[in-house]
Structure 1
Amino acid sequence: MAHALFLIRPQPFLALLGRRKMSLHAGAREVFAAALEAVQPDVALRQHLERRGNSLVCSGRTFPLSNNVHVVGFGKAVLGMATEAERILGDHLVRGVISVPRGIQQALRQHGKHHLLLKESSRIQVMEGAQHNLPDADSQKAAECIARLASALTERDLLLVLISGGGSALLPAPIPPITLQEKLDITRKVAGGGATIQELNTVRRALSVLKGGGLAQCAHPAQVLALILSDVIGDPLDLIASGPTVEGPVCREEVLVVLERYSLLNSAPASVKHVLGRLPLRQEVGTNKAGHVLNTIIGSNSIALQHAGRRALQLGFRPIVLSTGVCGDVRSVSRLYGLLARFACSRGDTPSELGSEVLKLGPQVGVESGDLRRVMHSLEQARSQGRGAACVLAGGEPTVELTGKGRGGRNQELAMRVGLELRGLQPLLDSPVFLSGGTDGQDGPTEAAGAVTDAKLYEDAKKQKLDMSSFLKNNDSFTFFTHLSGGRNLLVPGLTCTNVMDVHILLIPQCAK
C-alpha cells in the first residue's frame, strides 16, 4: 500500500502550542478534525467532480453535458453529496432519487448543517427509510424508484451514482418472487453462521436486483459515473454497499456452496430456490457491459489520514502513516501502539527487543511487516536525531470482545487500553498522547466518537478512585471517561455527516537520544 511522503521540515510543536498540559491533547483533536474535514461529503465530491463548460470531468474522464444527467444515491452521507452535485450540474440535472436514513434531514437542520440539505426547489427526490440501519418497506420503495429511473435511461444519458456507508440497507430490491423479509432472514442466517463478508456478499448479489452490478446493468446503455465514500477496509468496490455499480456475475454453484456450508440450503424458502434455479450453474463468458461504468473513490480512510498528516506537519510533527487496515481485538491493537511509543522513546538494546515484539503482533492486527518496519525506521531516525516530534497515523476497525453490559465503543475502549500501555512512559518533554475516534461521530451506543488519552491515565483514574479494570471488564469505557475529570478526555465532534471507519493518532512529542 502506498503512503504519502511529507517532505516539509516540521516546526517544533511546543513553539506553536506552548508547554500547556492539554497542548498535545488539543493537537490530537486538531489532527482528527482535519481528517474529518477531508472526507466531508460535499468537500470530497467537489474535489473529484468538476464542470468545464458543457463537460463533466472526473478521474481523467470527460462526460458531455446536454441536460442529460440523472442522479441516484444511497447511504448515510449521500444527502451532502447530492447537494453539491446539484450545485455543480445546474440545469444539466434532469432529476434524481436518493435513499437516506430516516431522520437524517431533521438531524442536519438541528445541527445547523444546512449546507448539506437540498433546496425545496431541488430536482432530486429524497426518500427516507432503513431505520436503525435495517432494510424496510420504505427503503425498498426507494430502491424500486431508483431502479425505474435507471431502467428508463438511454445511451445519451449519464447516471451519476452517489454511494456511501449504509448504502446496502438503503437499496434493498430482492428479485421476485423473493420478499424482503425472506431475503433478510436468509442473509441474517448466513451472517449468524460466521460467514465472511465475501460469502455474505455472494448470497446478497444472487438474490438482489441492484446489488453486484445490478444497478449498472439497469442503466445500460447510459454512461454510469459512481462516486463512492468508502467505509470498508481496503476500499473493495464490490463490498461497499454490495457493489451496485461493480460487475459481479454470480453463478448458482458458488451460492449453493455457501448455503450448504452453513446448512441453509434445505431450509431456504421456495422463492429463493426458484431464483437460484434461474442462475447459470457455472460462470459463463458473456458480453461485458462494464465499459460504460466509472467507479471512483472520493473519500476513504486513506484520504482522511493524508489530510491528518498535513495538519500534523503544520503542528510540528513528523507524520508517519502506519496502515488503513488495522483490525483485530483492541487488546492486541493497544499493545501495538504501546510498543511503538516505547520503541520511539527507548535507548540502547531495548529498541531491537521491542521491534521484535511489534513484528510478532502484525498478523494479529492486520498490519504487514513491511509497514511496521517502515514506521519503526522513521521513529528510530527521529530518536537518533533527538529532534522532531512524531505522529503515527492509522485507521481501520478493531473489534471488542463483549464481556459486560456497560456503555462504550471500540474507540473508547482502545483509548483506555492504550493509556494503560503507556503507563510510566515519560519522554524528554511530555507524555505521548493517543486518540481513537470514529469518523461517523458515534462510538457504539454513546454520544462520543472516541477518546484522547496519555501515560497519566492510570494515575489520574487512581486519584479519582476509578478502577479501570472493572470498567474494562464491563465494557463500560464511556462511563469511565464521563467520570474521569468531568469527561474532558471524550471526543465529541457531533454529527459528522460522513464515515470512513476509525482514525488512530499517536503523538510522540520528543524522542530521546
Structure 2
Amino acid sequence: MARVLSFLRPKPLLALVERRKPLFSKMSLDSRAREVFAKAVRAVHPDTVVRQSIERKEDLITIDGHKLALNNNLYLVGFGKAVLGMAAEVERILSDHIVKGVISVPHGIQETLRQHGKNHLLLKENSCIEVIEGAKHNLPDTDAQEAADKIKQLASGLTEKDLLLVLISGGGSALLPAPVPPISLKEKLDVTRRLAGAGATIQELNTVRRALSLLKGGGLAHFAHPAQVVALILSDVIGDPLDLIASGPTVKTEVWPEEVLSVLEQYNLLDSVPASVKEVLGKPGPRWQKQPGGGQEANVINAVIGSNSIALKSAGRRASELGFRPVVLSLGVSGDVKLVSRLYSLLAQFACSREEPPPEIAAEVLRLGPDVGVETWDLCRTMQVLDEGRSEGWGATCLLAGGEPTVELKGKGRGGRNQELALRVAVELQGMDLPPKGPVFLSGGTDGQDGPTEAAGAVTDSGLCEEAKSQGLDINTFLDNNDSFTFFSKLSSGQRLLVPGLTCTNVMDVHVLLIPSPPININYGI
C-alpha cells in the first residue's frame, strides 16, 4: 500500500501563514454551502441552457456546431419536468418559424409556475405549441399517453423539408408512454413498477421501457424520418448517456428481446409478466430496422445542453468566490448512502489531519471506490489535491460531486436520498469539529424535491449529533425508519433542511463538502 500512496506525499511545506487563501466572506459555512448549491442550480435553469445553446442569425440557427436553415418549417415536441421552460425560451427565440408543437409536462406545472411567479417559463397565450399535463406522481397515465400519441402523430407527418426540435429533460420516460400493441399502459406500468421495487437499476429499467415502447429507444426519430431531428437534452443520468436519458427517444437503439428477458429473469419476474409482454418479447431480432434507402442516424443531432457537469463547474466558480479551493471528486457518485457517507467522512479526515494522514485512511478510500461509483484515478487525484492543500496551507477546500446514490428502504418514514445521506455524513463526522463549525456537508437534488417532501436535501455538520442528543432525538432511530425529513423537522433550530422551492430543472444531485483550514504546525527554525 505504501507504493500505491507514494505519489500522494506532500511537496515541501511552504511555511508561510500568509500563503493561506483568505476567506472573503463573513457568511457561515452553512450559508456558503447553500450559495454554492444555488449557483449550481441556476446554471442549469431550462431557459438559461436553451438560450446558451441556440445561436440565431436571421433565418439561420447554429446548434452544437450544426447550421440549420429556417423557412417556416420548424416543429417542436418535448417531454420532461423542465420542458415547459425550455419550450418557452425556444418560442421567444424562434416563434416566427414554429408551425406546430406538442409538449408533455407534469400535472399542474403551469399553475405551479404561476403561483411561484415564474411566468417567464410559460408559453404565450396564443402559442401554437399545445401543452398536455400528465404523469401524476411521476407515473405514466392516460393524459401522458394522449400526449405521446399526439407527438407520434406530429412526427409521422413530417417530410425531408421539415425540422423537428425535440426537448428532453428528466421525467421524460413517464411523460412519453406509448406501449407497443397489444401491451396496455397498465400492463407496462405494472412491469416497470415491479422491476423498480425489486431493486432494478435505472439502466435495467430503461432497457425494459425501450423494449415495450413505440417511441423510446429511437422510436421518435424513427417516426420522424426523413425530417431533420435536433434534440436538446437536459441530462438527469450519470455520465449523460444519450440512450438512457428519457430512454433515448432520438437515439437509435437495437432492442434485443433476449436482453429484456434476461433482466426479467434476474429479478424473478419472467413467469409473472402479462401475456401481451411475452408476445412482444417473443418476436426475434432488434425492434427497429433501418429505413429503406438509408438510416435515420444521419438526420439526428443530439445535444446535451444541461448536465451535472455544467452545474458543478458553476458551483466551483462560486466556491472560489467564497474563499474555497474547489475540487470536483466525481460526476457519478452512486451506491448505498451508507457507503457514500463513509467516503465523505474519510476524505474529510484525510484533509483535516494535522500531520500526514495515516495510510489506512487512503487505503479504505480506495477500497470504497468501486462501491460508490468513483474511479480509482479520481480518488487518487482528489487525495493528492487535499494532501497538498493541507501540507502547503492553501486554506479551505470545497469538495464537489454529483450523482445519484441509493437508499435501502426498511422503514416507513418520510425523507429522500439527499436528506438521509446528509444525516449519515453528520454521524460519520461527529467529533471532527474545526473552526468555524466544520466540516459542513450539503446534499441536494437539483429538481428541488427529495423524496415525497418539500425539501431538496439538507445541510449538516460535525456538531449535529450533539445538537440532536441535547434535544432528546435519537438519530439512529430515525435512520432505521428512513425518517430523515421528520428528524430535521423536529430540530429546534429548524434550519437544516434545504428548501430551494421550485427549481424547474433536474440534473441529479449535488454534494458539497466544505472543509475549513486545518491548523498547520510551522517550524520557523533555520
TM tier relative to shorter chain: over 0.9
Shift of 1:52: 1.7
Q: Distance in 1 between matches of 2:106 and 2:228?
A: 27
Q: Distance in 2 between matches of 1:129 and 1:346?
A: 52
Q: Distance in 2 between matches of 1:229 and 1:296?
A: 9
**Which runs of 5 or more structure 2 residues have no equivalent in the other structure?**
1-18, 521-526
Deviates more, 1:397-406 or 1:310-319: 397-406
Q: How many residues are paired up?
A: 500
What is the correspondence of 1:58-457 to structure 2 with a 5 Å cutoff? 58-261=63-266, 268-280=273-285, 287-427=294-434, 430-457=437-464
Matched, 1:494 2:501: yes
Deviations 1:160-199 (A, max 9, x none): 0000111111111112232222222333344445544444
Query: Contact (CA 8 Å) 2:418, 2:456: kept in 1 or not?
Result: yes
User: CA-atom RMSD, angstroms?
Assistant: 2.2
**Residue type of the alignment partner of 2:426:** G
Q: Aligned pair in 2 of structure 1 residues 461, 223: CA closer, same or farther (>3 Å)? A: same
Q: Distance in 2 between matches of 1:481 and 1:261?
A: 38
Q: Aligned pair in 2 of structure 1 residues 127, 488: CA closer, same or farther (>3 Å)? A: same
Deviates more, 1:426-435 or 1:447-456: 426-435
Deviations 1:404-427 (A, max 9, x none): 222221111111121122212134
Q: Aligned pair in 2 of structure 1 residues 217, 394: CA closer, same or farther (>3 Å)? A: same
Partner in structure 1 of residue 31 of structure 2? 26
Deviations 1:300-346 (A, max 9, x none): 11111111001001111110000111111111111111111111110
Divergent runs of 4+, >6 A: 281-286
Deviations 1:91-139 (A, max 9, x none): 0111100001110111111111111011111111100111111111111
**Which runs of 5 or more structure 1 residues have no equivalent in the other structure?**
1-9
**Residue type of the alignment partner of 1:461:** A
Partner in structure 1 of residue 3 of structure 2? none
**Residue type of the alignment partner of 1:292:** N
Query: Contact (CA 8 Å) 2:25, 2:323: kept in 1 or not?
Result: no
Q: Aligned pair in 2 of structure 1 residues 132, 228: CA closer, same or farther (>3 Å)? A: same
Partner in structure 2 of residue 46 of structure 1? 51
Q: Distance in 1 between matches of 2:355 and 2:318?
A: 32
Q: Distance in 1 between matches of 2:421 and 2:187?
A: 37
**Residue type of the alignment partner of 1:364:** D
Q: Distance in 2 between matches of 1:270 and 1:460?
A: 56
Q: Distance in 1 between matches of 2:397 and 2:283?
A: 58
Shift of 1:432: 1.4
Shift of 1:154: 0.8
Query: Contact (CA 8 Å) 1:13, 1:509: kept in 2 or not?
Result: no
Query: Contact (CA 8 Å) 1:434, 1:452: kept in 2 or not?
Result: yes
Q: Aligned pair in 2 of structure 1 residues 272, 332: CA closer, same or farther (>3 Å)? A: closer
Identity of aligned residues (%): 68
Query: Contact (CA 8 Å) 2:437, 2:462: kept in 1 or not?
Result: no
Q: Distance in 1 between matches of 2:460 and 2:197?
A: 35
Query: Contact (CA 8 Å) 1:130, 1:136: kept in 2 or not?
Result: yes
Deviates more, 1:158-167 or 1:171-180: 171-180
Shift of 1:250: 2.1
Q: Output the TM-score relative to the length of structure 1.
A: 0.92
Q: Distance in 2 between matches of 1:28 and 1:195?
A: 33
Deviates more, 1:197-206 or 1:256-265: 256-265
Query: Contact (CA 8 Å) 1:415, 1:452: kept in 2 or not?
Result: yes
Q: Distance in 1 between matches of 2:366 and 2:116?
A: 44
Query: Contact (CA 8 Å) 2:369, 2:375: kept in 1 or not?
Result: yes
Query: Contact (CA 8 Å) 1:11, 1:314: kept in 2 or not?
Result: no
Q: Aligned pair in 2 of structure 1 residues 479, 263: CA closer, same or farther (>3 Å)? A: closer
